[in-house]
Chains A and B, each alone.
Chain A
Amino acid sequence: MRVGMGTCGQAAGAEQVFKALKEHMDKTGIKGSLISVGCSGTCYLEPQIELSKQGFPSAIYANVMPDDVSSILSSYLSGSVEGAVALREKLGLMKGEANVPLFDELDFNKLQIRRVTANCGKVDPESIDDYIAFGGFEGLRKVLSMKPEEVIDTLKASGLRGRGGAGFPTYLKWLICRQAVSEKKFVICNADEGDPGAFMNRMEAESDPYRVVEGLITAGYTIGAHEGFFFVRAEKPLMALRLRRAVEESRKRGLLGNDILGSGFSFDAQVILSAGAFVCGEETAMIAAIEGRRAMPRQRPPFPATKGLWDYPTNINNVETLSQIPVIFQLGPQKYSEIGSEKSKGTKVFCIAGKVRRTGAAEVPIGTTIRKLVFDIGGGVYEGRKFKAVQTGGPSGGCLPEKFLDLPLDYETLQAAGSIMGSGGLIVLDDEVCAVDIARYFLTFTSSESCGKCAPCRVGTKVMLGILTRISEGEGEMGDLDELRGLADAMRDTSLCALGQGAPNPVITTLKYFEDEYVAHIRDKVCPAGVCKIAGKKDAVAQ
């Protein structure tokens, strides 16, 4: 019996379901093992349980409540899979098999190619043996028999680019750090997932933490580092717990520590809890945080690859980038790069949330269109509502309207449309969402997260927020729109880091694609979506 106990499962009440299963087993004497697993990406089905019996197909049950547990169990044990939402395999041995689809055939799953999320929701995230049974550490074994230069060549052939948002070629990052001459080097896993709307790193590290550990060891070996860090957001405690256990267990098995797998290579890692600051997504700010200081970015170059943590060459990769590494060495670079877009190979995990029917995380080839993710996988907006836009890339991203639905999700294409891919969060917006309010929401976020070091970001976000607040209260003037555009240009050109440079994106894209809504707030004193509270005009909204 597997219960999905990722953060999403917990939020849906999985702990009560787990407890109910345990009590039911105690009461009835049913023998079996009760395992808490991570999230399989189908968050909309949470709380989700999977029942398996030797020689019979495993059945997945969705939206399970504690009271349902006894009937589900007795039905499954009596040889029926009726009521299950999906099956792992079909063997024709149980009643009702024909009426239940395979898990991989669900609309949410059928377009997915699961590589980094292959184990998510299947393996016990705390069991190193589970990971090994599914091919874990095979890649590392290969890596340790190769020369670091060969590892870099393999990465180059795979076409892997950073999954944290910037899309920098991973091989190049590793190469620069490898070539830096220093007595000491470090590798850091960026697990400080901070983009609101992005939870793929949480899902990956909570559900399959050993894969991330394997990726980090590979990075350490290749660049010549013997010490690594997982920098994990305190807001995501389960992710920290799982990584911590994975590190301890790997150490016990000789996968961390001295002479890893008899290769002569020594490497150890530790988990550091981030105290929470969005700007830590910027590498130099993260380094300041690990050194125990305020997380303020500094001028680059020098880049961390040559001068990073305590001034030593440091390589930083996102959780998902590191999770891709074992896949590359398992599949080989040719097979790995068979899918994806021309400039970006492999898969990317996108999170679908907001005003959409099926929410969750889906792994698809890079270059899959927004339409496929939002409509085919996500099921589109709710009954009776109208699709308005999709917000990609978090606070540095933008809102893309309907005409961009057939845009392939790729680093370059999204940038050309005025947004970014960022870490891969997609928030679906419908006609109940106000474009001005969304812009104001993001500026509230960036103005409070601005570290304050450079004036364009510190002052620019505040001034923008002031203007947007006035507009949303019906006090705006038409001249405000040009003022916003001018501020945006200045912030983009002169801010020190990506936080300030990207902060205007939500404003500029809403202004570009939904200018009529801004005009309605300013000229007609009306919020067309009925979200903003415009004094004295409540009746107009109601009408």
Chain B
Amino acid sequence: MIKTSQDYRSAVSEIVAKYSGSKSSLIAILQDIQSRFNHIPFESALEVSEKLGIPLSDIYGVATFYHQFRLKPQGRHLISMCMGTACHVKGAPINFDALKEKIGIEGDEETSPDGRFTIQRVRCMGACSLAPTVRIDGDIYGKVKLDGLDELLRRYL
């Protein structure tokens, strides 16, 4: 469903109120916005800027500094490929390239053209003992093998 500016405005009002309009809660506010809309829509950032009295440029600065935030809409499923050291030496880069090809992502793009998957590299989810690991939405998979990727993707339509 397409969101209108009014949707963003009321959502942001609600979230900002939850944190009593405190400027130091900017990161928590952006986290809440992202968990509601899957990304940080421009209109919502504008609204936060107005409500908290923080310049939009500062909000952009914070949103682009941290790995968690995404300014573009996310696909239906989020694939987080762990690129920690243990995963790196156990084949994560090969899995990553293969996965990108399988879901049709080229270059530095993150979301597949059909909007089914967004893929991101993360550095260490702390399951190094089961490297290489992948998290899809809330599910975490260990010892991921190249020939098991298709089966894994089939679970997420």
Interface residues of chain A, those whose CB is within 8 Å of chain B, are 7-8, 10-13, 43-44, 46, 193-199, 201-203, 234-237, 272-273, 275-278, 289-295, 310, 351-355, 359-361, 391, 394, 425, 427, 429, 432-433, 438, 441-442, 445, 449, 451
Residues of chain A with a CB closer than 8 A to B69's CB: 275
Minimum Cβ distance to chain A for residue B120 (Å): 11
Nearest Cβ on chain B to A376's Cβ, whole angstroms: 17
Contacts A194-B123, A197-B128, A394-B85 given; 16 further ones with Cβ under 8 A?
A: A7-B140, A10-B127, A10-B140, A196-B87, A199-B129, A235-B125, A273-B31, A275-B30, A275-B31, A292-B26, A295-B66, A310-B24, A354-B90, A427-B128, A429-B89, A449-B123
Q: Which single member of B28, B66, B130 contacts A359 (CB below 8 Å)?
A: B130
For the complex formed, measure the closest distance between the CB of A368 and the CB atoms of chain B, giving whole angstroms: 19
Given the known inter-chain contacts A273-B28, A275-B31, A394-B85, please indicate yes or no for A8 contacting B127, CB distance below 8 A. yes
Residue of A nearest to B122 (CB): A235
Contact B126 A193 (CB under 8 A): yes
B25 in the interface (beta carbon within 8 A): yes
A355 & B89 in contact (Cβ 8 Å cutoff): yes
The reply to whether B24 and A441 contact each other, CB–CB distance below 8 Å, is: no
B124, A235: Cβ atoms under 8 Å?
Answer: yes
Are A427 and B127 touching (Cβ within 8 A)? no
Interchain Cβ contacts under 8 Å between A and B, 26 examples = A7-B126, A7-B127, A10-B127, A11-B141, A11-B142, A12-B143, A194-B123, A194-B124, A196-B84, A199-B124, A199-B127, A199-B129, A202-B126, A203-B126, A275-B66, A275-B67, A276-B66, A276-B68, A277-B67, A290-B24, A292-B23, A293-B26, A353-B129, A353-B131, A354-B89, A354-B90
Q: Do residues A359 and B129 form an inter-chain contact, with CB atoms below 8 A?
A: yes
- CA of A202 to CA of B140 in the docked complex: distance in angstroms? 15
Chain B residues with CB under 8 A of A352:
129
Distance (Å) between the CB of B136 and the closest chain A CB?
A: 12
User: In the bound complex, what is the Cα–Cα distance between A203 and B128 (angstroms)?
Assistant: 11
Q: Does B61 contact A (CB under 8 A)?
A: yes
- B62, A196: Cβ atoms closer than 8 Å: no
B143: which A residues are within 8 A, CB to CB?
A: 11-12
Query: Could you tell me the dominant secondary structure of chain A's interface residues?
Result: mixed
Q: Do A353 and B128 have beta carbons less than 8 Å apart?
A: yes
Taking a contact as CB atoms under 8 Å apart, the answer to whether B86 and A354 are in contact is yes
B27 located at the interface, meaning its Cβ lies under 8 Å from any Cβ of chain A in the complex:
yes
Q: Is the pair A43, B124 in contact by a Cβ cutoff of 8 Å?
A: no
Leading 3 A-B pairs by shortest Cβ distance:
A43-B129, A11-B142, A196-B84
Partner of B128 from A425, A429, A441 at Cβ < 8 Å: A425
Question: Are B129 and A427 neighbours in the complex by a CB distance under 8 Å?
Answer: no
In the complex, what residues of B have CB within 8 A of residue A235's CB? 122, 124-126
Contacts of B65 in A (CB 8 A): 277, 294-295, 451
Contacts of B83 in A (CB 8 A): 196
Question: B88 interface residue, CB < 8 Å from A?
Answer: yes
Q: Do the beta carbons of B126 and A199 come within 8 Å of each other?
A: yes
Interface centre among B25, B26, B87, B142 (most CB of A within 10 A): B142
Nearest residue, chain A, Cβ from B24: A292
B74 within 8 A of A: no
Q: Are A289 and B68 within 8 A (Cβ)?
A: no
Interface string of B53-72 (1 = CB under 8 A from A): 00000000110011111000
B133 at the interface (CB under 8 A from A): yes
- Please determine whether A195 and B66 come into contact, CB atoms closer than 8 angstroms: no
Interchain nearest-CB distance for A123 vs B (Å): 20
A354 touches B67 (CB 8 A): no
Cα A237 to Cα B66 with chains together (Å): 16
Residues of B within 8 A of A449 (CB): 123
Of all chain B residues, the one with the shortest Cβ separation from A451 is B65
With contacts A272-B28, A273-B31, A292-B26 taken as known, whether A236 is within 8 angstroms of B86 at the C-beta atoms is: no
- Whether B129 pairs with A196 at a CB distance below 8 angstroms is no
Q: Contacts A196-B85, A235-B122; is A291 near B24 (CB within 8 Å)? A: yes
A11 (CB) vs chain B CBs: closest residue: B142
- Least CB separation from A41: chain B residue: B129
Find residues 6-44 in chain B having any chain A CB closer than 8 Å to their own CB. 23-28, 30-31
In angstroms, Cα B128 to Cα A351, docked, is 9
Q: How far is the CA of A199 from the CA of B141 in the complex (A)?
A: 16
Of A11, A203, A359, A425, which contacts B140 at CB under 8 A?
Answer: A11
Question: Are A8 and B142 in contact, with the CB atoms below 8 A?
Answer: yes
Which residues on the A side are within 8 Å of B141 (C-beta)? 11
CA distance A272 to B141 in the complex (A): 26
Measured CA separation A355–B130 after assembly (Å): 11
Tell me which residues across on chain A come within 8 A of B27, comparing CB atoms: 273, 275, 289, 292
The answer on a CB contact under 8 Å between B85 and A197 is: yes
A449 to B124, CA, bound (A): 13
Which residues on A sit within 8 Å (CB–CB) of B67?
275-277
Inter-chain contacts of B87 with A (CB < 8 A): 196
Note all chain A residues with C-beta closer than 8 A to B86.
Answer: 196-197, 353-354, 359, 427
**Cβ A8 vs Cβ B68 within 8 A:** no
A197 touches B24 (CB 8 A): no
In the complex, A234→B124 CA distance in Å? 11
- Which of these, A10, A196, A291, contacts B124 with CB under 8 Å? A196
A10 contacts across to B, CB distance below 8 A: 127, 139-140
Residue contact A11 to B130, C-beta cutoff 8 Å: yes
Give the chain A neighbours of B128 by CB distance below 8 A: 196-199, 351, 353-354, 359, 425, 427
